[in-house]
């Protein structure tokens, strides 16, 4: 096969270098606009022969660092497609969740997508994948049935729990550190209809809403996955009044049914919290789950900081309430997601270590503000220290250096051994690279 590799100076190069995270721009030595699994496998072998590392991008939502002259970037966005087979979906590597939602819905099924269907299926799933069906059905990573992998020697192989249980377990939630996934089969769940949406209060009522949420959420059934946070809505023409340019405390939620008869009673305590501005919760087809958090679909230059939390302690509530006014800190949103009671396969991952995961997302319009945003991230972690477990799930890791926070030290040692076995030359890594010398230090932010 003759590879059509794009180089700096080629007309296609600039467009292929862009990521959804507009705060970075790739500058790899070579780019493959992938068309087939066989082509990807050949590109991997070519990178190995040239001494280049392999980077992969479908959409770039999870991009943390740019590809450089030491890298061959494989862009999979042109390889899309979904095949529904019984209660599974076989997806091509560039497929977004929207395509899976639309294909599964006529069968009365839904995938374990995140808060937006604009994200790529495979990258999201390999990093864990926490969505609004999670407390009932678990993580997207745990829904992976099998995957096709382009290995470091250029081979293509299918991996599942029978053929290679150790590698399959590592791929579920530990990112693309062992090869390039060229196809994946994911389990679907019976959730053609959900009851979901968001309730809004003024940002100034953050403390009252968080406290009410804390009292309420501990008694909710696993069919309901929810989150509390503050959103600073950008002042953009594309955003309708009266939301544009305003700040809100919000509770986002989704009940996956199938029995919705008790939902109104379940939500009554939240609706009784004084100051409620808008209640947008309703029954809806699962194809409309994007409406729950209304995540942006246009690329943004952003940075993320995440913390796994054992509880919403009084100190954590005080801190989150204190930063809620728009002028206090440089962030677009913070959101605390409830994961208590969620089923999971792997107790070695950070997901298993707490009841909540809190993220802060900041917009970084230019490099001059990067230091300001990093300093906020450090203050954010310090403010949650009373509740933090010392872990950060991989999807919420905000820098390549913090990948080790996504799993326990014991499991990290196991992963390092697998990495040495399957990728001894460290060909694969990506934005959240798995190292072969995992430190036993849990979380430097806890010191």
Q: What distance in Å separates the CA atoms of residue 56 and residue 58, rounded to the nearest whole number?
A: 7
Higher pLDDT among residues 344 and 191, named by residue: 191
Residue 436: predicted pLDDT: 57
Q: What distance in Å separates the CA atoms of residue 384 and residue 240, rounded to the nearest whole number?
A: 33
pLDDT at 439 > cutoff 50: no
Share of the chain above pLDDT 90, in %: 86
Q: What distance in Å separates the CA atoms of residue 270 and residue 252, rounded to the nearest whole number?
A: 11
As given in the structure block, the two tokens for residue 101 are: 């939602």
CB count in 10 Å sphere of residue 124? 25
Residue 440: predicted pLDDT: 40
Position 241 confidence tier, pLDDT thresholds 50, 70, 90: confident
pLDDT at 444 > cutoff 50: no
Residue 435: predicted pLDDT: 67
Q: State the average pLDDT over residues 326-355.
A: 91
Pairing outcome for strands 333-338 and 224-232: antiparallel
Residue 419: predicted pLDDT: 94
Residue 235: predicted pLDDT: 77
Q: What distance in Å separates the CA atoms of residue 386 and residue 374, rounded to the nearest whole number?
A: 20
Contact between 234 and 245 under an 8 Å Cβ cutoff? The reply is yes
Q: Which residues pair with 147 in a beta bridge?
A: 159, 184
pLDDT at 33 > cutoff 60: yes
Enumerate the CATH 3.30.465.10 domain ranges in the chain, comma separated.
82-187
Residue 437: predicted pLDDT: 52
Residue 447: predicted pLDDT: 44
Q: State the average pLDDT over residues 220-242.
A: 88
Residue 245: predicted pLDDT: 85
Share of the chain above pLDDT 70, in %: 96
Please tell me the pTM assigned to this model. Answer: 0.94
Q: What confidence tens digit (pLDDT) does each residue in 125-134 have?
A: 999 999 999 9
Rg (CA), the chain: 21
Contact between 360 and 331 under an 8 Å Cβ cutoff? The reply is yes
Strand ranges inside 154-220, DSSP E: 156-160, 180-187, 193-202
Q: What confidence tens digit (pLDDT) does each residue in 79-95 have?
A: 999 999 999 999 999 99
Q: Which fold has domain 5-75?
A: 3.30.43
DSSP 8-state symbol, 367: G
Q: How long a stretch of residues is the chain?
A: 447
Q: Which of 48-52, 61-65, 274-278, 440-444 is the least confident region?
A: 440-444
Position 368 confidence tier, pLDDT thresholds 50, 70, 90: confident
Q: Which residues pair with 285 in a beta bridge?
A: 193
Q: What confidence tens digit (pLDDT) does each residue in 118-154 have?
A: 999 999 999 999 999 999 999 999 999 999 999 999 9
Burial of residue 55, with CB atoms counted within 10 A of its CB: 0-12 exposed, 13-18 middle, 19 or more buried: buried
Q: State the average pLDDT over residues 239-260.
A: 91
Enumerate the CATH 3.40.462.20 domain ranges in the chain, comma separated.
193-400
Q: State the average pLDDT over residues 267-287.
A: 98
As given in the structure block, the two tokens for residue 252 are: 């986002």
DSSP 8-state symbol, 6: E
Enumerate the CATH 3.30.43.10 domain ranges in the chain, comma separated.
5-75
Closest listed residue to residue 92, CA positions, set 19, 22, 147, 141: 147
pLDDT at 293 > cutoff 70: yes
Mean per-residue pLDDT of the chain: 94
Architecture of domain 193-400: 3-Layer(aba) Sandwich (3.40)
Q: Which of 187-191, 287-291, 327-331 is the least confident region?
A: 327-331
CB count in 10 Å sphere of residue 153? 11
Contact between 180 and 40 under an 8 Å Cβ cutoff? The reply is yes
CA atoms within 13 A on the CB side of 434: 32
Q: What confidence tens digit (pLDDT) does each residue in 409-438 have?
A: 999 999 999 999 999 999 998 899 886 554
Position 441 confidence tier, pLDDT thresholds 50, 70, 90: very low
Position 280 confidence tier, pLDDT thresholds 50, 70, 90: very high
pLDDT at 189 > cutoff 90: yes
Note the CATH number of domain 82-187. 3.30.465.10
């Amino acid at each position: 096969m003759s590879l059509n590799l794009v180089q700096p100076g080629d007309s296609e190069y600039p467009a292929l270098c862009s990521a959804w995270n507009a705060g970075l721009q790739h500058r790899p030595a070579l780019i493959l606009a992938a068309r087939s699994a066989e082509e990807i496998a050949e590109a991997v072998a070519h990178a190995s022969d040239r001494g280049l590392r392999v980077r992969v991008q479908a959409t770039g939502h999870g991009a943390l660092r740019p590809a450089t002259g030491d890298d061959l970037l494989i862009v999979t966005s042109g390889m899309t497609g979904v095949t529904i087979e019984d209660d599974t979906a076989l997806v091509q590597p560039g497929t977004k969740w929207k395509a899976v939602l639309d294909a599964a819905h006529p069968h009365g099924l839904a995938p374990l997508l995140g808060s937006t269907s604009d994200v790529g299926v495979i990258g999201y799933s390999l990093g864990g994948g926490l969505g609004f069906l999670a407390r009932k059905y678990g993580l997207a990573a745990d829904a992976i049935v099998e995957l096709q992998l382009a290995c470091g020697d250029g081979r293509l192989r299918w991996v599942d729990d029978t053929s290679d249980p150790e590698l399959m377990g590592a791929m579920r939630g530990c990112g693309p550190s062992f090869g390039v996934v060229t196809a994946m089969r994911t389990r679907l769940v019976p959730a053609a209809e959900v009851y979901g949406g968001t309730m809004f209060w003024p940002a100034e009522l953050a403390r009252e809403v968080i406290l009410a949420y804390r009292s309420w959420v501990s008694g909710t059934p696993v069919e309901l996955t929810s989150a509390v946070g503050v959103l600073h809505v950008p002042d953009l023409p594309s955003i309708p009044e009266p939301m544009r340019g305003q700040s809100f405390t919000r509770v986002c939620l989704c009940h996956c049914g199938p029995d919705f008869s008790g939902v109104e009673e379940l939500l009554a305590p939240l609706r009784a919290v004084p100051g409620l501005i808008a209640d947008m919760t309703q029954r809806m087809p699962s194809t409309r789950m994007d409406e729950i958090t209304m995540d942006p679909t246009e690329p943004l230059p952003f940075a993320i900081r995440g913390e796994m939390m054992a509880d919403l302690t009084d100190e954590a509530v005080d801190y989150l309430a204190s930063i809620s006014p728009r002028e206090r800190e440089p962030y677009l949103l913070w959101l605390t997601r409830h994961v208590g009671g969620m089923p999971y396969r792997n107790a070695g991952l950070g997901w298993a270590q707490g009841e909540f995961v809190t993220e802060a997302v900041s917009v970084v319009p230019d490099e001059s503000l990067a230091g300001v945003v990093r300093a906020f991230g450090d203050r954010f972690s310090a403010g949650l220290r009373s509740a933090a477990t010392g872990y950060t799930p991989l999807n919420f890791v905000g820098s390549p250096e913090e990948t080790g926070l996504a799993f326990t030290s014991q499991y990290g040692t196991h992963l390092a051994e697998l990495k040495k076995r399957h990728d001894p030359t460290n060909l694969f890594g990506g934005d959240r690279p798995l190292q072969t010398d995992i430190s036993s230090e849990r979380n430097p932010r806890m010191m």
